[in-house]
Structure 1
């Protein structure tokens, strides 16, 4: 296989690998492709309140389970003077607060941050009993109620074809206040909620069902009581219904807090217990949301990456990751345009310095140091010093010039010139030495060409490297450097004319 074919194959593999990892981080991990994207994070606070009777007090609150369309980013517990732990009971997690002695009103808090993600609400299996306990309606005074219940059940069966359509018809009939059977049932069970009555009627129809407690995520809602949904077993799977409308499916903005199970809150050593909820929304940068979610899952692509470094090192790498972009700019301008520069990648280092010093300030400082350094270098050449000593002398001279510029600019109140220290002094010294040699061998015109080309390439590289999209992609998707490497390898195979050569040989073309 020829070297050219190997280059194209290797470049294709690198490009596919980098693009694949980028797509995976965007689609699966939620990292935004564009800067400035935000996600809505819901903060839900559960407040447990009760009145302690002066002895030992214990409160147990059921915690929400994992859901496919709701991702918990973090949770906090607050309890003054209470011991706290989380226990598992009957496939449920419960927060338990305990105190040896408590009296008077008590308040306990549980708070979690939730991010809503695309997907179905309930796809995980649920291991719950399908046993049905029929209501006791045998007494003579309850005969009319029993007949009303079974009348509703029989009518719903005649108007349905399966368990799901039967449940929809039954719930619709119960919600119809013009239905005499429904009115009689609710008149008898007037101290019960709609969901309690619906569960009783479903049990009479031999349909396994249970209650789902949850919250509708709406901004700035306070002191809410949990809302109820119904979940029935159709013989194959559990199906959720909205009780009042009878429509199947979990509402889009509904956060499931408890699915089946026992009571939501249990309190020992107190009375007048209650739990209320408050909800508020926050707009959070999409990258922060992705980092929080992946940190809990220990995603290897994120856990073993730049994001795992301390913040100080991350800020350093944020600048270092821009160097390959500047290198690509140099390659494109030298291979396709034919610009001559002083050194291969010296313009990239200048572009990095311009990022720290601002463009105009950096250009002014660089030109000033270059002119003064060349003048001093020409004087040193008359002293017939050896090459190593001459370069060392130029380095010392550059340091002195940088210090002098900083002190003078500070005294004059020009604070921007204090950033002169961001210029790499060794590169400046070597550039001065190289320019002086070019001056002696090829004349001042070639020095102007190379210096001008270096500055032009550095300015273009600075413009590309400071683009907010480039900064975002290089830091959040460093896998794209593999794509960049593949492009550079393909460009390295170009052997055609450059734009500068076309201008040079235009007379020959004519």
Structure 2
């Protein structure tokens, strides 16, 4: 007996540990949302290209579009144009879309629309980049000014990060040498050119990064210039205006390098404007949409990989252990008497369609009429099988009649009574009739009320959307439930109702 107890304790410990470990792995490592209410942001970006085409020459419009190979993934990408061909090419780590038309005239408008979101997976590819570059040749006063700026920069820096930060600060200062190199042009592009010159003399590679800000502002915006450099391990991003380090989380890299956003052939007065809006989507649904691109392997081996109709069936099936657990607690700990263990659970499943109040009324009507018929058949001294057959047929006819009259009265909820398990109703009527004969009417009514109470409580718990989502998303929780059920299997103490029943003995 001691060996059996030890075996049971080990089994319970293994099941509970596995359930907790698998669920914790899904939540903490895979990042699966605990609640269905958790949402992720979707960004809808509209890029509008306007230009004036000449009827004499073919038109070719080239524009950089986001590479989308790191932190963001595209859910939808569309190119909207009239009588234009569209192609996409890779260009030195960037993507470039080309619109072309043999003949076009007058004002023209093209659209590039993109719906994107953050990648669901936190896994990031290994960063690669240059760690050395050749110096840009500079002579005359510019060389003297550059050397004069680099001397204090080298003195006040310790690595690539601090060297670049110090360089940006010197270029943005009122230093005469910086003014000489800027030549009166304080634009971000000119500052980036001077910073690149100074860094090249020190053989530090630098690359221009053009970004757009993911914002809900209704107005349009223009690409914002940032600088980046590779330190051997990762890319470091810098604001050329103030030396700020680190690309903000709301910036989307549109393209890198010195190229212009838009290149036009056969047209003039071209301009580009960006506008965007934000929306939200359920995190799990979003993960399913991005599964092919985001390496979210958990979906491949989860219930979310099943067909939708099968998923809906399992969302109900996986709740049955919850209902069984409720019945187990009510019977073994509280002492509520029911007609078996699974009958209340199946009745609670029917309540999901009929709703609780209407379901109780229908169940009471069908059971009461069925008991009346069963009592009449008892006087005919029929055997059990023919008697059950007659009761089952009566239940079917009664369900059909209730559905018909409910429809005529405009109570569409009554149509769902057909979902009641007819065989279960038949067996319930039979068992209640036997209980009535053996234990009396009061005990039969007590068992019937206990069955309805247990079914109602199980229905209320199984109808909690958060619980249904959690069980379906983390089915390993059922291992923990099994462990609790095994522990309950050895409970030999008093039930709650028995404590009240034997209260008189405590006084003695």
* Maintained 8 Å contact 1:67/1:121: no
Q: TM-score with structure 1 length normalisation? A: 0.88
- Seen in structure 2, the aligned counterparts of structure 1 residues 173 and 493 have a Cα distance that, compared at 3 Å, is same
CA distance in 2, matches of 1:197, 1:481: 64
- 1:271: how far off? 4.3
Structure 1 residue 166, shift from structure 2 partner: 2.3
| Structure 2 partner of 1:9 | 10
Q: Secondary structure at the match of 1:132?
A: coil
Tell me the equivalent position of 1:25: 26
* Distance 1:93-1:124 versus aligned 2 partners, 3 A rule: farther
Which residue of structure 1 lines up, in the alignment, with residue 115 of structure 2? 113
Q: Deviations over 1:12-40 (max 9, x none)?
A: 33333333333333344443213422332
TM value normalised by structure 2: 0.88
Aligned residues: 504
Aligned counterparts of 2:71 and 2:64: Cα–Cα separation in 1? 20
Match of 2:46 in 1: 45
Aligned-pair distance for 1:430?
A: 0.8
**1:83 and 2:79 correspond:** no
Aligned position for 1:278: 275
Q: Is the 8 A contact 1:4 1:493 kept in 2?
A: no
Pick the aligned partner of 1:405 from 402, 406, 412. Answer: 402
CA distance in 1, matches of 2:191, 2:248: 18
How far is 1:506 from its partner? 2.9
Q: How many angstroms apart in 1 are the aligned matches of 2:66 and 2:306?
A: 32
The offset of 1:376, in angstroms, is 0.5
| Cα pair 1:61 1:265 within 8 Å, conserved | yes
- Aligned residue number for residue 474 of structure 1: 471
Q: Is 1:507 equivalent to 2:508 in the alignment? A: no
- C-alpha separation in 1, matches of 2:244 and 2:27: 34
Give yes or no for the alignment of 1:425 onto 2:427.
Answer: no
Q: Tell me the residue number matched to 1:328.
A: 325
- Is residue 49–residue 273 contact of structure 2 (8 Å, CA) maintained in 1? yes
SS at structure 2 position matched to 1:340: coil
- Residue 456 of structure 1 aligns with which residue? 453
Q: 1:17 to 1:411 in 2, by over 3 A?
A: same
CA distance 1:171–1:298, change in 2 (3 Å): closer
Closer/same/farther in 2, CA of residues 328 and 231 from structure 1, 3 Å limit: same
Deviation at 1:52, TM superposition (A): 4.1
Give the C-alpha shift of residue 436 in structure 1: 1.0
Residues 122 and 264 of structure 1: CA distance in aligned 2, closer, same or farther (over 3 Å): farther
CA distance in 1, matches of 2:5, 2:308: 42
* Matched ranges for 1:172-321 at <5 A: 172-176=169-173, 178-187=174-183, 192-234=189-231, 238-260=235-257, 262-297=259-294, 299-321=296-318
1:130–1:233 contact (8 Å) kept in structure 2 = no
Between the aligned partners of 1:412 and 1:283, the Cα distance in structure 2 is 42
C-alpha RMSD of matched pairs (Å): 3.0
SS in 1 for 2:46: strand
The answer (yes or no) to whether the contact 1:213–1:259 under 8 Å persists in 2 is yes
Answer yes or no: is the 8 Å Cα contact 1:42–1:217 preserved in 2. yes
CA contact (8 A) 2:120 2:296 kept: no
- Structure 1's unaligned 5+ residue stretches are none
